Every structure is written in structure tokens, then in C-alpha cells.
């Protein structure tokens, strides 16, 4: 039997055929993703009904009917309400956000000094963005500039009082400036402090261990509102008469310590997840405690708890709004404070202001959350299931 | 060792600051170069930030008047927004020099809390607002039996409401909410027939309703809420300055001295006007207070007289359009009365 007899053997590869029609194209995608089984179909239909009910009125309110420009409440109220809009009008009052935008960003920071805040913001972005992109070299220098040099320069610029820069007291700060300052300081302080506390809690030295446990449990056992309230109302009574201690600084310390206690517990979770063999392996190599912790344990532990750490950061970012109760005005506080301006009181003002605040908070929180997912994928070395 | 040294240094600095601040309030204020004034965190017409972030309102203008009396310049004032809980501590601890924050004058606050109220810059009281379309023909709170009443929980407002309806043997359904915004929304949506809170607040809330003209504020006032500025107890000199600043605002209105005509009035031959404006020969009225003799001129120049302050912030010149009512001068049937400046 010669090879020539093998007529059924193809000499060239068959051309690839397109997938059957029911497996491709938008219809197939919809079938596969939205109507795969009866339960999915019901959920899809319910979801679509909700979207159809909510989306058009929302777009209509926020974009079509919205009032974009104006100088006072008359632009955002109907004729019956003493304004210029036709009867039955309902739209977002972006004119209010527009008029108050400076306050929402800077609070009552003097208008002629606001370039200082903008300069700090530019420095912040210029240092943060390269730090976040893994390809950019010189991470060490960048981190040093961002974590050590930047806060000092920013503090001098924002507070002022030297080189002819007028002094701007912290009670004048507000809006997004306060939100971001509190979050930045809270995040930068709480991560290292939290790691130290977590290590302290697992330490074999009884005093260190006890102090860490007492600190963590005390702070975690008290609501943040209480911490802030104590700092703002009780502390001045303990200090001698006439001595006042900057309220913003008190809030910064309160928020940072509070976040550190939570961070410590997150990090401790990571430390406990590292198998004992890693510790013993490091010991057998003759590494010191700090070498072992810094080179073997922490890199693995921190990687495991990235979601928890970012969760704490996002929580901290949103918790900054609580400074409202000690009469400091973060973004949400300033927005709410401006509802009381009689020149802008209208039925649409509160909703518009709150939607704007929600949008800004969402942008920051969503950004942090996406970046943490990216980082998790990048650092994934087989722990993911 | 390092800690001990820094601790000692820290204690020493604190001590120094404390000694510097222990003189009288007037001297402290003059040394600082500005008046630290506590205001609310935002109440329409009394203290609320405008588009530029400057504090506007009756309470804020009173701070400016005191600053004008002390410095001759109404802009030398720094505002500290305070929540209701913080306000008294802030004054007691010396964080602020003057509390001008729609605070009700009560005996407890005057005695036990160590404050001195200087007078009543706004006579307020709890009132009712109704939807005239839903309740046609109601023109008195005594006709409200059986009504659903929207009220903020945990306030004296809620207690006053219960007292009033009980005293008049009427039934009512309280619809309570935690936050002011929630009460507003519920009332606007028609969940209750009546809204009750301080009358000055009702006018502000009316502006945020869908159809303000359908809503009527009833004439009855069921509680006394005399709102006024307060200072720390134990510094009579400062107390007198703040008190007489308030009286000067009233006296200026009584004598027809306004922001616009104060310079012309200085040339007036009327002995009373001359005494008030400090143009009388050998006058000691201002210097006895510890101020300059032109203190009233400065006050009126910077904020106007009481009537002007009222109309600009809460009256016809503002979106709130509150009538003078009992806040008119005693000569016009109101309660605002000042002892003679002589």
C-alpha cells in the first residue's frame, strides 16, 4: 500500500469558518449575556424597566431642562415661585453650582490667594501620576518628593505667612481643599502607622504589644464623630484659657489616628495569612527581624490585603464629611451650607448641589477603586483563585 | 531626654500665650486687630455665606457693627461658624469674643452657662405654616384640630407644639423627621397639612417650596424665642460695648440716622443727634465706653441703622420678605426699645 492511496488525507489546512450565526453578532451576545436562562431574562427585563423609568427623566432634569447660567434664585424657580421659569418646570440648577464653584473647591480661602491652592493641586497631580504609572522610572525619588517634600511645601504654601505670602488661617479653608487635605494626610499617615501597629500587635514584646492592642481597640471602639467632637468641644476646656489649638489640626490628627487603627487590623489580616514557613525560612537564612519583615513578610502580606487597604482609604475619604459636625466644611459641608443662602433658595437648589457633590465623590472613589483592581492584577503572582 | 526638653518648651510656650490672653476682652480684641465672632453654620437671613463666601445676615451684620464700634472699620471681623452644640463652649473657652448666632435667651443660659445676653436683636417665636389650597378658610392655629403637623424631632419646637395643642384641647398627628431637609421635602410633597418651626425659618422654607404662594404663615406665635448676641460673663466693659452697640443701632433708627445721611447728620443742630454722634462739645459718652466718641458714626457708616440691617437681610430688601411686626421700634408698635444715650 503506497502513500498515494491515502486519498482522504488533506494536504492543506481547511480554512477557518466563521462561527455559526447564532454564536456571533449582537443577537448572540444579547442571548448569551442577557437572556441565557429564564432567571437572567427576568432580571434583564426588570433592569431595563428600571433604566427606562429613571434614565429619561434624569437626563431631562440634569441636561435638557437644566438652567446653566444665572445670578440668583429667580433663574431656578418658576413664575409662581418668584422666578422666570414657566409653570411646571423642573430642572437642575447648575447656575447655583456655577456661582458657588469657587467656594465648593476652596471654601472661604481668599480669592486673590487661590492660585496657591491651584499650584499645590498641580504639584500634587504632577507627583502622583508618575507614581501611579509603573513604567515611569525613579520611583524612590518620586515617592520621597510626594511623601516628604510635597507635604512641607504644600503646608507652607497653603498656610503662608512668610516671603510676603499673607497668612491664611485654616478656618477659611473649605470645600474640596479640606476633603483632599484630610484624605491625603489621613492616607499618608495611616498606612505606615497602621503597619507599625499591626506589627506591634503581633510582637513578642509585652509592652509594645499591649500598647498597640490598647490603642487599636480604644480607637476602634469609639465612633469617629465622638473623636472629632471630643477634639473640638472638650479639648479647649482642658487647655488653659485663651490657648487655642488649630481646629483643622485637631481634625487631621483625629482622622489620621482613627484610620491607622483600622489600617492596623487590615494589615494584621495580611500578616496572619502568611504561612509560618515563610517566617521560619527567613529565620533560617539568618535575617534580622526588620530584614525579615521588610523583605519577606510585608511584601507578601500587603499584596494580599490591597482590597482591604483601598477599602479603608475610600472609607476615610468619605468619612471626611463628618468634620461638618465640628463646623469645618468639606465639600459636602460647603454645599449644604450654601443651601441657606437666601439669594439661591429654590426647590431645585438642594438637589443640584447634592448631585454635584455626589459626582465629585464618585469620581475620586471610583478612581481609587479602579486603580486598586489594576494593582491587584499587576501584582498577581498566583495567589488569586 | 529630647522629649522632656520639648515638653518643657511646649509648656512654656503655652504658658506665655495664656498670660498674653488674660487681659480684658476689649484689650485682647484691640491687640489682635480683629473681632472673632461666632455665627451659625448657615441660616438664611441671619448668617449665611453669599456667592463670594462672605457672611451675610442680621447676626453677621451685628458682628460688623461691634467691629466698627471698636476699630472704626466694620470689616475687621473674622467669623467662626459654630454648630448649636459647640457655640457655648467656643465662647467660654475664649475661642470667640462674641456669639451672634440666633441664640435664644433663656434664664438657664444667662445664669448656669456663664453667658451674658446683651439684648434681643430679633424677636422670634414658633409659628405655623399651612397649605392654603389644602386647608381653605383656615386663618388661625386654633382651627388646626386633627391636622397632620410636620416637625423636626428632638427640638424644643416639638415640645412647644405638644404643649400648645394640649393647652387648647386639640388633637394632632405629629409627622416627625430627623433632618430639616426631610421635613421640607415631606411638607412640600403634602404628607402633612401644617409645618411648624421658628417663624423666621418658615419664611426661608417657603422659598424652597414648589408653589410658595399657596402657603400661608399663620399669625399665632406659640413660644417666645428672643434671639440675641451673648458675651462671656465677668467682663463688664466688653458687655457694655456690645450692649450699647445694639442700642446705638436702635437709637440711630429712631433718630432717622441712616448709612446715607450720617455725614450730614453730624452737622445737625438737634442736641439728641449731636449727643449720639459724638459731635457735642466735651462729650465723654464714647470714651467712657472705652471707644472713640465717633463710635455711633462708625457703626452706622458700616452697617446702617437697625431698620436698614433688618430690611436688607430679612425684610423687604431680601428674598425672605419678613414683616417688621414685633421687631419694629417701640414708636411704631414693636418691642425694640433702647434706653437713652446720654
Q: Would you say residue A223 lies in a domain?
A: yes
Q: Where are the alpha helices (DSSP H) in chain B?
A: 2-20, 25-32, 58-71, 87-92, 107-111, 156-167, 180-188, 199-206, 236-254, 262-265, 271-277, 285-289, 295-303, 306-313
In the structure, what pLDDT confidence band is assigned to residue A382 with cuts at 50, 70 and 90?
A: low
In the structure, what pLDDT confidence band is assigned to residue A4 with cuts at 50, 70 and 90?
A: low
Model ipTM?
A: 0.80
Residues 6+ apart with CB under 8 A from B91: B38, B99, B115, B230, B231, B232
Give yes or no: residues A322 and A177 share one domain. Answer: yes
Question: Between A and B, how many CB-CB pairs are < 8 A?
Answer: 122
Give yes or no: residues A116 and A23 share one domain. Answer: no
What domains can you pick out in chain B, each with its CATH number? 2-123+226-332 (3.40.190.10), 126-223 (3.40.190.10)
Give yes or no: residues A357 and A216 share one domain. Answer: yes
* B45 phi-psi bin (left φ>0, alpha ψ -120 to 50, beta other): left
* B249 phi-psi bin (left φ>0, alpha ψ -120 to 50, beta other): alpha
Q: Kindly state whether A243 is in contact with chain B, defined as any CB-CB distance less than 8 angstroms.
A: yes
From A63's Cα to the closest Cα of chain B, the distance in A is 20
Q: Which residue of B has its CA nearest to A234?
A: B89
Residue B265, all three cell numbers:
447728620
Q: Would you say residue A72 lies in a domain?
A: no
Residues of A in contact with B81 (CB under 8 A): 327, 329, 337
Q: What average pLDDT does range A149-162 have in this prediction?
A: 89
Give yes or no: residues A131 and A37 share one domain. Answer: no
Residues 6+ apart with CB under 8 A from A241: B18, B21, B22, B93, B94
Contact B319 A345 (CB under 8 A): yes
Residues of B in contact with A336 (CB under 8 A): 42
Give yes or no: residues A190 and A60 share one domain. Answer: no
**pLDDT, position A242:** 57
- B residues 219-278 lying closer than 8 A (beta carbon) to A: none
Each residue's pLDDT tens digit, A357-379: 999 999 999 999 999 999 888 88
Q: Would you say residue A171 lies in a domain?
A: yes
Q: Would you say residue A88 lies in a domain?
A: no
- B residues 35-64 lying closer than 8 A (beta carbon) to A: 41-45, 48-53, 56
Which residue's C-alpha cell is 413660644? B223
Among candidates A169, A232, A340 on the partner chain, residue whose Cβ is nearest the Cβ of B48: A340
Q: Which residue of A has its CA nearest to B22?
A: A242
Give yes or no: residues A176 and A294 share one domain. Answer: yes
Task: Identify which of B108, B11, B188, B21 has the alpha carbon closest to the alpha carbon of residue A349.
Answer: B188
Give yes or no: residues A367 and A247 share one domain. Answer: yes
**pLDDT, position A379:** 83
Each residue's pLDDT tens digit, A285-303: 999 999 999 999 999 999 8
Domain span at residue A147?
Answer: 94-379
Give yes or no: residues A181 and A51 share one domain. Answer: no
Residue A228, all three cell numbers:
472629632
Spatial contact of A290 and B49, defined as CB atoms under 8 Å apart: no
Contact B89 A240 (CB under 8 A): no
Q: Which residue of B has its CA nearest to A247?
A: B95
Give yes or no: residues A202 and A349 share one domain. Answer: yes
| Mean predicted lDDT score pLDDT of chain A | 88
In the structure, what pLDDT confidence band is assigned to residue A243 with cuts at 50, 70 and 90?
A: low
Distances from the Cα of A323 to the Cαs of A154, A329, B78, B120, B322, in angstroms? 21, 7, 20, 31, 33
Q: Show the low-confidence residues of chain B (pLDDT under 50).
A: 1-21
- DSSP reduced 3-state for B232: strand
d(CA B283, CA B291): 12
| HSE toward the beta carbon, residue A65, CA cutoff 13 A | 20
In the structure, what pLDDT confidence band is assigned to residue A2 with cuts at 50, 70 and 90?
A: low
**pLDDT, position B2:** 41
**pLDDT, position B329:** 96
Q: Kindly state whether B322 is in contact with chain A, defined as any CB-CB distance less than 8 angstroms.
A: no
Task: Identify which of A256, A257, A233 has the alpha carbon closest to the alpha carbon of residue A326.
Answer: A233
Q: Would you say residue A349 lies in a domain?
A: yes
Q: Would you say residue A163 lies in a domain?
A: yes
Q: Which residue of A has its CA nearest to B54?
A: A108
Give yes or no: residues A40 and A181 share one domain. Answer: no
**pLDDT, position A188:** 92
Spatial contact of A250 and A224, defined as CB atoms under 8 Å apart: no
Each residue's pLDDT tens digit, A311-345: 999 999 998 998 887 888 899 999 988 988 888 98
**pLDDT, position B17:** 39
Q: Kindly state whether A340 is in contact with chain B, defined as any CB-CB distance less than 8 angstroms.
A: yes
Give yes or no: residues A197 and A275 share one domain. Answer: yes
Give the domain CATH number at A353: 1.10.3720.10
Number of domains in chain A: 2
**pLDDT, position B243:** 96
Contact A236 B48 (CB under 8 A): no
Q: Would you say residue A87 lies in a domain?
A: no
Among candidates B83, B210, B318 on the partner chain, residue whose Cβ is nearest the Cβ of A327: B83
**pLDDT, position A381:** 67
Q: Which of B53, B99, B186 to mutate to test the interface with A (most CBs of A within 10 A)?
A: B53
d(CA B49, CA A172): 12
d(CA A270, CA A308): 9
Q: Would you say residue A233 lies in a domain?
A: yes
Give yes or no: residues A238 and A338 share one domain. Answer: yes
Amino acid at each position: 500500500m503506497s502513500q498515494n492511496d491515502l486519498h482522504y488525507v488533506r494536504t492543506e489546512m481547511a480554512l477557518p469558518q466563521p462561527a455559526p450565526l447564532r454564536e456571533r453578532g449582537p443577537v448572540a451576545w444579547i442571548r448569551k449575556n442577557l437572556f441565557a436562562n429564564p432567571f437572567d431574562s427576568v432580571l434583564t427585563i426588570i433592569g431595563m424597566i428600571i433604566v427606562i423609568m429613571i434614565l429619561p427623566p434624569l437626563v431631562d432634569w440634569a441636561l435638557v431642562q437644566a438652567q446653566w447660567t444665572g445670578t440668583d434664585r429667580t433663574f431656578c424657580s418658576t413664575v409662581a415661585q418668584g422666578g422666570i421659569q414657566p409653570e411646571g418646570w423642573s430642572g437642575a440648577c447648575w447656575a447655583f453650582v456655577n456661582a458657588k464653584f469657587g467656594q465648593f473647591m476652596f471654601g472661604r480661602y481668599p480669592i486673590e490667594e487661590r492660585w496657591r491652592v491651584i499650584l499645590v493641586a498641580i504639584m500634587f497631580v504632577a507627583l502622583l501620576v508618575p507614581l501611579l504609572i509603573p513604567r515611569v522610572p525613579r520611583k524612590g525619588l518620586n515617592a520621597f518628593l510626594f511623601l516628604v517634600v510635597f507635604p512641607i511645601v504644600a503646608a507652607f504654601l497653603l498656610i503662608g505667612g512668610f516671603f510676603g505670602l499673607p497668612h491664611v488661617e485654616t478656618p477659611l479653608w473649605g470645600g474640596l481643599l479640606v476633603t483632599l487635605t484630610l484624605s491625603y494626610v489621613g492616607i499618608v499617615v495611616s498606612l505606615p502607622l497602621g503597619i507599625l501597629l499591626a506589627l506591634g500587635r503581633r510582637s513578642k514584646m509585652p509592652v509594645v504589644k499591649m500598647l498597640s492592642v490598647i490603642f487599636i481597640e480604644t480607637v476602634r471602639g469609639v465612633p469617629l464623630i465622638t473623636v472629632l467632637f471630643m477634639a473640638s468641644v472638650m479639648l479647649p476646656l482642658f487647655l488653659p484659657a485663651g490657648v487655642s489649638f488649630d481646629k483643622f489640626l485637631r481634625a487631621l490628627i483625629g482622622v489620621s489616628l482613627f484610620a491607622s487603627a483600622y489600617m492596623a487590623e487590615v494589615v494584621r489580616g495580611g500578616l496572619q495569612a502568611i504561612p509560618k514557613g515563610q517566617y521560619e525560612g527567613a529565620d533560617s537564612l539568618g535575617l534580622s527581624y526588620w530584614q525579615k519583615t521588610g523583605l519577606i513578610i510585608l511584601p507578601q502580606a500587603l499584596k494580599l490585603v490591597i482590597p482591604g487597604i483601598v477599602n479603608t482609604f475610600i472609607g476615610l475619604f468619605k468619612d471626611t464629611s463628618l468634620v461638618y459636625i465640628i463646623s469645618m466644611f468639606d465639600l459636602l459641608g460647603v454645599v449644604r451650607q450654601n443651601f441657606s443662602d437666601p439669594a439661591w433658595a429654590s426647590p431645585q437648589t438642594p438637589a443640584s448641589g447634592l448631585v454635584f457633590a455626589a459626582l465629585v465623590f464618585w469620581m475620586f472613589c471610583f478612581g481609587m477603586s479602579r486603580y486598586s483592581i489594576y494593582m491587584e492584577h499587576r501584582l498577581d503572582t498566583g495567589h488569586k483563585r | 531626654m529630647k522629649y522632656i526638653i520639648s515638653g518643657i518648651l511646649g509648656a512654656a510656650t503655652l504658658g506665655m500665650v495664656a498670660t498674653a490672653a488674660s487681659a480684658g476682652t476689649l484689650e485682647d480684641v484691640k491687640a489682635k486687630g480683629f473681632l472673632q465672632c461666632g455665627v451659625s453654620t448657615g441660616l438664611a437671613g441671619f448668617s449665611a455665606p453669599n456667592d463670594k463666601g462672605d457672611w451675610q445676615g442680621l447676626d453677621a451684620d451685628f458682628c460688623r457693627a461691634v467691629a466698627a464700634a471698636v476699630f472704626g472699620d466694620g470689616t475687621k471681623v473674622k467669623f467662626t461658624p459654630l454648630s448649636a452644640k459647640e457655640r457655648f463652649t467656643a465662647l467660654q473657652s475664649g475661642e470667640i469674643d462674641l456669639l451672634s448666632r440666633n441664640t435664644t435667651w433663656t434664664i438657664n443660659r444667662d445664669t448656669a452657662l456663664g453667658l451674658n445676653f446683651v439684648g434681643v436683636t430679633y424677636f422670634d417665636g414658633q409659628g405655623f405654616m399651612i397649605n392654603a389650597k389644602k386647608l381653605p378658610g383656615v386663618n388661625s392655629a386654633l382651627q388646626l384640630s386633627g391636622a397632620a403637623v410636620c416637625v423636626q424631632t428632638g427640638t424644643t419646637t416639638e415640645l412647644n407644639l405638644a404643649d400648645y395643642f394640649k393647652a387648647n384641647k386639640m388633637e394632632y398627628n405629629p409627622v416627625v423627621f430627623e433632618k430639616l431637609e426631610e421635613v421640607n421635602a415631606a411638607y412640600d410633597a403634602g404628607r402633612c397639612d401644617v409645618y411648624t418651626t421658628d417663624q423666621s425659618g418658615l419664611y426661608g422654607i417657603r422659598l424652597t417650596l414648589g408653589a410658595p404662594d399657596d402657603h400661608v404663615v399663620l399669625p399665632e406665635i406659640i413660644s417666645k424665642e428672643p434671639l440675641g448676641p451673648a458675651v462671656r460673663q465677668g467682663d463688664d466693659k466688653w458687655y457694655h460695648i456690645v450692649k450699647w452697640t445694639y442700642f446705638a443701632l436702635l437709637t440711630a433708627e429712631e433718630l432717622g440716622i441712616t448709612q446715607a445721611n450720617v455725614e450730614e447728620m453730624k452737622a445737625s443742630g438737634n442736641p439728641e443727634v449731636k449727643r449720639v454722634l459724638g459731635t457735642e462739645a466735651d462729650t465723654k459718652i464714647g470714651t467712657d465706653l472705652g471707644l472713640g466718641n465717633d463710635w455711633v458714626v462708625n457703626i452706622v457708616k458700616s452697617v446702617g441703622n437697625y431698620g436698614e440691617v433688618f430690611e436688607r437681610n430679612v425684610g423687604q430688601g431680601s428674598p425672605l420678605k419678613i414683616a417688621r411686626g414685633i421687631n419694629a421700634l417701640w414708636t411704631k408698635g414693636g418691642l425694640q426699645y433702647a434706653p437713652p444715650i446720654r
